[in-house]
Amino acid sequence: MKQFRKPHLALLVAAAMAVAGCADDGKDGAPGEPGEPGPPGPGTPPPTVDVTETTHVKVLNFAVEEGQVVYEIEVTDQEGTLVEGLEAAEGKFAAWTERGYVLSRSGEGTLGGYGSMSTEGATLEMGEPGQYTFTLPMENVTAGQEGMLWLRVGDREGPIMRSMPLVVDKPEGTYSTSDATCNACHVDYAAGSRRHASYTAMDIEGEGDLVGGCLVCHNSVSRADENGGYATNTLSKIAHVNHPEKGFERDFTVLNCTTCHETTPLNTSIAGPGCVDCHNPGAPVGPMSPNTDPSFDIRAIHAQKVALPEIEQIRESHYTTTSAPYWDADVTWDSGTGAVCTDLKLFKVEGETETQLNIGDMYAAGELTYAGAYIHGYDGQGITGRAIARGSDQYVARADGTRSICFPQLLAVEGSDGTDFTAGNFMASTRVTVPQTGWVNDDGKDGVSFTTYSVVVSTDYFDVDPAVTAPTFTEVSDFDRRQVVAADSCVTCHNSETNYHKNGSYQNGGWDCVACHNNGQNRNSGGSAPGFGPMVHSMHWGVGSGIGTDDANSATKLNAENCVACHADGIDLYAIPNQYQLARAYHEGTRGMMASPVTANCFACHDSESALNHMVQNGGEIDAVADPLWYTTKSAESCATCHAEGKTFGIEKYHVFER
């Protein structure tokens, strides 16, 4: 007698069959028109189809028996209509062992099993319309054996199209990774172009099961091992070795285990599955040593090795403040006296106590690797460039430990014709970097960085003679910048604090980067467009991609259209400030050019001549000659008219903004 295990998904039964009463004979039509027919009467067979566009499977029952597995299923098409004529089905069973999951191909010591309708003895029988029993012989399977059971029906060529794979059953608590951690980068593996995208699985409740779908073939044990699994690459090797070695994003450390492991790994033996990948590469996978102590978290050991707890402690126990620019008449230079300064303060928090630290003393002792500042022009929500000469700063140590960063003069921002013009307003940014142990030195400036922006001020500086009257600075507003990426979007991949360069941190969606990569910095970063947004788009997905768009772990291969990886709350094209960005011309590389904002971002990826022509025809520009007051000039681009979310050609129809 077969002993079936019921899945969580309930079998729906029509209750109307048990209800006595008058039948529904339909509805009257309008005068001169036929009415609507009522539902089929008792005993009338339900409608069926024998051709599908997509095929859906509901598992009614399943059983792991001696030498075979049995699935009872219901098959419907994209409209929910029952399917007749199904002739193709395949199944897999990866056995749960002391070495983890194993699905052997063949040979002595074979574990688990797999097969299809071409397997000798396999049967696929339909009982009620759309309901089938699929019996698949697996000689190495024993009754009630634990493992991962997998199913797929239909044919790649039709007429009944192949369904998504189903993970029908698996033991609980058998791995510590999750779909959520994988999809932080991959977002929707099935919709991408990566290898085996069509094998992305779901569970019987209709939820995604990416990890299970991969693990059923990429087992815990390599095919190369004795009594090994189905694939040569185990899933853990793909994560631990192949991801970093094949071009993973910069500033990623595989020792930051929580990136992938939501819970502590099950195995604690360095010879067992997962651990052997790094501790003894190429060695056969041995038995696991299960972690039986709930308080023991092996992730913490790896985190300690690369100073992650230290980094977290530094971030939690320090903060900085930045003053508005002000005039200090007592600062002396070879050429005279007086300077425009901003004050950088560093605080340490211990419980309820906050203590201001002495930046000068810490820098001298090597307890800080950087403590500096810039003064910027500012207009609207955009930084319009630096208002100081690079390298002209002087550090003034104050008695309370404050470091004042001072500049001999406040420069006007350079215009398109090489002349200076007065920026609308000004503000300051400061950055301090605290060193930490265990990290690869990156141009002498690695560490935990804190960037802070001051309030915005206006000044009569350009209209006064400081030798006669001290310049004044008047507060205008808080510094504000439109933030459309999630705070943790960058650190999902850039999970270390080695810093890309110049002490920039990946915290808060790349907030630190804006001090240099902004609307007014006339630069071309790695072939990318101007500004922070265009640079990020191009460096990850476009022509400026530093690791190449064809590399396995480039953002392109992680599905370039999956904007939700960074833009968790979508994009409102209407909300983008209509403010130009300074740019070096794309084709000539000359200065004194500007680009309209939406076009600058879109062209970073959509860089064909036809795409650019479309943007230009609708008011976009990438190589426009910059006006003297370029940041107050409004572009004529009308991208939002057609491409804002909800429009006929809204960007959400071509890019993914929902998980």
Name the stretches of the chain with pLDDT < 50: 1-24, 415-421, 547-549
Summarize pLDDT for 562-606 with one digit per residue, the tens.
788 889 888 999 999 999 988 877 666 677 888 999 999 998 888
CA dihedral 575, 577, 578, 579 (to 10 degrees): -160
- Cα separation, 378 vs 360, in Å, equals 29
pLDDT at 481: 86
Residue 252: predicted pLDDT: 86
pLDDT (0 to 100) of residue 418: 44
Distance CA 484, CA 282 (A): 44
pLDDT (0 to 100) of residue 359:
98
What confidence score (pLDDT) does residue 440 get? 53
- What confidence score (pLDDT) does residue 586 get? 66
**What does the pLDDT read at residue 31?**
67
The pLDDT value given to residue 223: 95
- Would you state the structure tokens that stand for residue 371, as one six-digit string? 């403590």
Q: What is the pLDDT of residues 113-154, one digit of tens each?
A: 999 999 999 999 999 999 999 999 999 999 999 999 999 999
Torsion of CA 69, 74, 75, 78, to 10 degrees: -140
pLDDT at residue number 563: 86
Q: What is the amino acid identity at position 336? A: G
pLDDT of residue 542: 73
Whole-number pLDDT of residue 525: 62
pLDDT value of residue 120: 96
Contact 427, 515 (CB under 8 A): no
Give pLDDT, residue 568.
Answer: 87
The H or E element that residue 603 is part of is helix 597-603
Residue with token string 């009620």: 128
* Three-state DSSP class for residue 505: coil
pTM above 0.85, yes or no: no
Q: Among 155, 447, 470, which residue's Cα sits nearest to residue 307?
A: 447
Alpha helices in 21-124 (DSSP H): none
Q: Are the C-beta atoms of residues 207 and 178 closer than 8 Å to each other?
A: no
C-alpha to C-alpha distance for 378 and 427, rounded to whole angstroms: 7
